[in-house]
Amino acid sequence: MSISRRSFLSASVLTAASATLPTPAIFGAEKNKKYQVALVGTGGMGNANLGAAISTKTVETVALVDVDRGRRELSFESVKKSTGLEAKLFNDHREMLEEVKPEIVIVATPEHWHPLITIDACKAGAHVYVEKPVSHTINEGIAMVKTARETGRTIQVGTHRRCSPAGIAAKKYIKEGNIGQIGMVRAFVHYTAWGGKDVPTPDTPTPEGLDWDRWCGPAPLIPFNSKIHPGGFRQFLNYGTGQLGDWGTHWMDMILWVMDDQEQYPSTVSSTGGRFIWRDNTDAPDTQSALYKFDKYMVEWEHRCYAGNAPEKENIGVYFYGTKGTVHIGDGNWSVFKSQDKNANPETPDTPKNEGNLQVSWRNFIESIENGQKPICDIEYGHRATTMTLLGMLALKLGRNVRWDGEKQTIPNDPEAVKLMSREYRAPWKYPS
């Protein structure tokens, strides 16, 4: 994936469907204030976030950190071209925090690095915009929430669909009771994603300029493979969390957000799946279902990473099944089935536009820093959504149901499962407590 102006522009792709959060009353309280921002992880989503942040005219880019020299240098050129600023370049986020002391840090590395960098940044005094899924294991997420609260730092998560016009309008429609009582919610993603039927990609010497040891960081150090970096880590379970962690975090967050008047934790989780089609060297399931039992409703997840979903017309999104109708929320669109008749056609309501989900999320982040209120995609919500996906991955690995005590954030009376809420870190990195 090439970084360059294209990646900056990709922010507007993500934001094409736009919605309206109310204009923050306090936004611009410090009218000409520009927050000194550092980006850690100058890949596709890092640059998209930085582009969105810059477009809100509230930040000044002071540092770019990546373990891949080529990528941080490309990002440097893009920032210089779009803002005239020459950001300082780093390979090590700790050196950057020490030397630059940024006010905001964007964490857009693969997820095995999110917890440590986020926690280091908060402890160094910075507010953080961290990408989803927030963590690779559940206890890391718990430590991130704790750190945010202890340091008083604001952490916004990249679950920007909460800012989408489709999400906002659909949530309002459901809350008004238009589809009655909801007993089942089904989230799904059916499309090709990073893996494939092809033969395994061979390991190769590490490319010039890439600090592979640091890229692997707290996770196992294995030989370099071009299928993993850039981007492909998602389907390698040492670093990513599969399609459920990658895409599922967005939809689990959407579900918990829409159902925010219901309980926010499942009590039981089960999952099954496998690698039925993929023959390459990825190791995540290409096919998976997960079931979550809540007190008053249930959630289903399903993905197939190799095909679309022609019979249902929608490849991606969430169905909220109510007693009076069904709502589908997709990637920037939503629709309503007003009757239960099998021949009913979906209606697609008019939805207002916004300046872009990422831009809205960034404005809300800055507003929250200024007024001390929880941002719309606060770390606690991001952690809850991530936990849903990680519980699904954990149940798949164990091959059996797991119970979940959301209040205590533990798996009761199940030491084997509790062990999977953490992972061993490779020295010298220390698992956050």
Ligand X SMILES: NC(=O)c1ccc[n+]([C@@H]2O[C@H](COP(=O)([O-])OP(=O)(O)OC[C@H]3O[C@@H](n4cnc5c(N)ncnc54)[C@H](O)[C@@H]3O)[C@@H](O)[C@H]2O)c1
Residue 368 CB, nearest approach to ligand X (Å): 18
Three-state DSSP at 190 gives strand
Our finding on whether 67 is near ligand X (CB under 6 A) is yes
Which listed range, 61-69, 284-292, 321-329, 409-417, lies at the site for ligand X (CB under 6 A)? 61-69
Which listed range, 36-44, 184-192, 374-382, 385-393, lies at the site for ligand X (CB under 6 A)? 36-44
Q: Where are the alpha helices (DSSP H) in 15-135?
A: 44-55, 69-83, 93-100, 114-123
Our finding on whether 284 is near ligand X (CB under 6 A) is no
Our finding on whether 108 is near ligand X (CB under 6 A) is yes
**Cross-strand bridge partners of residue 326:** 321, 337
Selected from 60, 103, 111, 286, the binder of ligand X by CB under 6 A is: 111
Three-state DSSP at 433 gives coil
Phi (first) and psi of residue 15, to 5 degrees: -105, 5
Our finding on whether 167 is near ligand X (CB under 6 A) is no
CA atoms within 13 A on the CB side of 278: 26
In the complex with ligand X, which residue's Cβ is closer, 106 or 402? 106
Q: Interface residues for ligand X in 223-242 (CB under 6 A)? A: 229-231
Residue 142 CB, nearest approach to ligand X (Å): 18
Which listed range, 146-154, 211-219, 265-273, 403-411, lies at the site for ligand X (CB under 6 A)? 211-219
Our finding on whether 42 is near ligand X (CB under 6 A) is yes
d(CA 79, CA 61): 8
Which listed range, 41-49, 292-300, 370-378, 379-387, lies at the site for ligand X (CB under 6 A)? 41-49
Q: CA angle, 193 as apex, 188 and 199 as ends, to 5°?
A: 135
Our finding on whether 375 is near ligand X (CB under 6 A) is no
Our finding on whether 303 is near ligand X (CB under 6 A) is no
Our finding on whether 363 is near ligand X (CB under 6 A) is no
**Cross-strand bridge partners of residue 88:** 63
Our finding on whether 45 is near ligand X (CB under 6 A) is yes
How, if at all, do strands 104-107 and 35-40 pair?
parallel
* 215-235 burial code (b ≥16 CB/10 A, e <16): bbbbbeeeebbebbbbebbbb
d(CA 147, CA 195): 35
Our finding on whether 44 is near ligand X (CB under 6 A) is yes
Selected from 217, 356, 382, 392, the binder of ligand X by CB under 6 A is: 217
d(CA 112, CA 6): 26
Residue 399 CB, nearest approach to ligand X (Å): 26
Q: Interface residues for ligand X in 68-107 (CB under 6 A)? A: 68, 71, 93
Are the C-beta atoms of residues 123 and 147 closer than 8 Å to each other? yes
CA dihedral 425, 426, 430, 433 (to 10 degrees): 0
**Which chain residues interact with ligand X by CB under 6 A?**
1, 14, 40-46, 65-68, 71, 93, 108-111, 113, 131-132, 158, 160, 214-215, 217, 229-231, 246
